[in-house]
Amino acid sequence: MRAIFQFTRGNNTGIRGQSGALLLCTRLWESRAFLVPYLLMLVLVALPLFLLESAIGQFSSSSCIGIFSACPVFRGAGIAATIVNFLQTGYYTTLVAYPLLFIYHSLRRELPWTSCDNEWNTDHCTRTRADFVENKTENGTQTVVSSADEFFHNEVLKISSGVGEVGGLVWPVVGAVLFTWVIIFLANFKGVRVLGKVVWLTATFPYVMLTILLIRGVTLPGAWDGIYFYIYPNFDKLKQPKVWAAAAVQIFFSMTPGYGVLTTMSSHNKFRSSSMRTAKIVPIVCAMTSIFVGFVVFSVLGFMAHRLGTTVDKVTAAGSGLAFIIYPEALSLMPLAPLWCVLFFLMLFFVGIDSCFGVVESLLTVVTSEFPQIRSWRGCVTFAICSVIFLGNGVIYSQAGIYWLTLVDWYVSSFTATLNCLCELLVFSFIYGVGRTIRDLQMMTNKTVSYFWYATWLVITPVLTVVSIFVNMVLNYGPASYDGRRLPDWAQGVGWLTACASILAIPGYFVYYLAVHTKGSVAQRLAQGLSPTAAWGPAEEECRAHWERYCALHPLRHRLLHPNSSGAALSPPETVPLGRP
């Protein structure tokens, strides 16, 4: 259980979580009151979804597809999550590999992004961000580019002029990504027990590095100006719906509900493990980590602004620029800059690869669950999955790779995950019934589930999820762009097709199941598709027998009512045996 806790914590502070932390910093910079809706969404959306996915995964010992044996017509939601994980892993491993290239370039006395006399620099290069800020034309067009910006785009990415100009492969990126996949394979092919031991290191090390960076950051001149800028609120922004919608998206992005990873990892728990305790702790730890990262980042940005004689808002940037351009430039101004750069990018690599561990394990669990005859060939299956994803994402290792990475991330990531969460809530709160779900959880943990969780699963979380989808589609959703440049229409079309590959799995399987796996009239087919199959329930025979007996002793007045609403209490252990711990 401890290993699973470390894994889920590492996964949620991984590449999604750490990117989410940097995005949180950006949101705080833009709205200055983003923390208020973020924390509310944490309590009302993230915590309930995290507990729900953890509970049903542990209860059924099933993958993100297998849990929908409770309502088989919705198995398409699990398939959609699997497709998203397959698509995302390709470009996430590329993001994870970028810090390796920065580590390599940091192993020298003078950091290469601090000068303009390198072969990749142009005539527009400037060494200081102060010059970069000041040298803009009146209409906002940049006349100069920072040396750190040119290093990232011209040397690391070797970026082309557009998404259609693929160019050749960037071989340093290919090598770094291949090295990353080798580590992922070695960590996953022996199973979750070995993976749990690896995660103890990869999930803990970043916290040590963050603490070291924070201690060093707050001792720098100007650091507290950056921290004040970070935490000073602007409550007028709370009146804007898009701020609340963005907070919901940030929750889905950083806490990873709807991706199937939480369900998969919880399926490896012992049946009697305290999933409720873990589900309460992990999201809070992840949220606090995101906020903690903000202090680390803005303390150094405050120092950077102090050194350049400007204000913090003029040295801040959004997106990947914060991690790969602005922060490396800020670190280069510190004493012993190469050391701090190595530590920072090593931390990014560790937190990133944690997330990749989780996604690959989720894919492995899905494949071996759907095709149990290959379960004994885990090593070969792991190698096949890693190889297919690595070889299938060659375009992301090209000179146009960053454009394709942005395109897939924009269209595939958050919307499908939010839709999957909505399907989970629809199934386990309304169709299977929140009363049954709570009864199953109480039987599994032998603890009472409070009415707070009942209210969130039945009303609050579904409503907020629907509202966030609608508001984001209306206010925040637009065409994909990179570095302020809108990608062409044909690329947007490719992005939509990629998104449809996962989204259409939900209605597609719904129709397929009713047509192929059921018989009778339309009403009869629908009733069969919305009813639990024989596969639903605890996997172990002893636990299943206890569950069936518990359900018989605790009939529900209605599947939408809390099982304790009739005054029934939990049966003592001697009435319903607890089974194996």
What's the average model confidence in pLDDT over 222-243?
77
Q: Model-level pTM? A: 0.85
> pLDDT class for 157, splitting at 50, 70, 90?
very high
When comparing pLDDT for 248 and 145, which is higher? Answer: 145
| Residue 220 near residue 300, CB atoms below 8 Å | yes
> Of the candidates 461, 362, 500, which has an alpha carbon nearest to the alpha carbon of residue 78?
362
Across 55-59, 98-102, 468-472, least confident range: 468-472
Q: How many CA atoms lie within 13 A of 544 on its CB side?
A: 10
What's the average model confidence in pLDDT over 34-50?
84
Q: What's the CA angle centered on 35, arms 32 and 36, to 5 degrees?
A: 105
What's the average model confidence in pLDDT over 298-307?
85
What's the average model confidence in pLDDT over 534-544?
91
Confidence check: pLDDT of 570 > 80: no
Average pLDDT, the chain: 82
166: number of Cβ within 10 Å: 16
pLDDT for residue 399: 94
When comparing pLDDT for 143 and 372, which is higher? Answer: 372
Q: What residue has token string 């709807």?
A: 258
What's the average model confidence in pLDDT over 529-556?
91
φ/ψ (deg, to 5) at 213: -65, -35
71: number of Cβ within 10 Å: 23
pLDDT for residue 441: 92
The encoded tokens of residue 32 equal 């200055």
Across 65-74, 263-272, 566-575, least confident range: 566-575
Confidence check: pLDDT of 14 > 90: no
**pLDDT above 70 as % of the chain:** 84
| Residue 210 near residue 218, CB atoms below 8 Å | no
> Of the candidates 368, 364, 412, which has an alpha carbon nearest to the alpha carbon of residue 388?
364
| Residue 495 near residue 411, CB atoms below 8 Å | yes
pLDDT for residue 102: 94
The encoded tokens of residue 446 equal 């032998």
CA distances from 244 to 37, 412, 436, 576 (A): 6, 21, 32, 45
> Of the candidates 252, 254, 286, which has an alpha carbon nearest to the alpha carbon of residue 414?
252
pLDDT for residue 32: 53
Structure letter (DSSP) for residue 373: G
Across 42-56, 65-79, 122-136, 325-339, least confident range: 122-136
Give domain limits for the chain.
Answer: 2-513
pLDDT for residue 573: 41
pLDDT for residue 317: 56
Across 130-144, 397-411, 421-435, 468-482, least confident range: 130-144
Q: Any alpha helices (H) in 393-540, and if so which ranges?
A: 401-425, 434-445, 451-455, 461-471, 489-503, 505-516, 522-529
| Residue 133 near residue 310, CB atoms below 8 Å | yes
φ/ψ (deg, to 5) at 371: -130, 75
Confidence check: pLDDT of 276 > 80: no
- 254 is an annotated ligand-binding site residue: yes
Confidence check: pLDDT of 7 > 70: no
The encoded tokens of residue 139 equal 């209409």
> pLDDT class for 383, splitting at 50, 70, 90?
very high
Which tens digits make up the pLDDT trace of 360-377?
988 998 998 888 898 889
* CATH level 2 (architecture), domain 2-513: Up-down Bundle (1.20)
Per-residue three-class SS string for 138-149: CCCCECCEEHHH
- 273 is an annotated ligand-binding site residue: no
- 266 is an annotated ligand-binding site residue: no
What's the average model confidence in pLDDT over 514-535?
91
Confidence check: pLDDT of 560 > 60: yes
Residue 571 to residue 554: CA distance in whole angstroms:
9
Residue 533 to residue 520: CA distance in whole angstroms:
17
Confidence check: pLDDT of 136 > 50: no
DSSP helix/strand/coil, 332: coil
> pLDDT class for 128, splitting at 50, 70, 90?
low
Confidence check: pLDDT of 229 > 60: yes
Q: What's the CA angle centered on 59, arms 58 and 62, to 5 degrees?
A: 65
The encoded tokens of residue 486 equal 């809108």
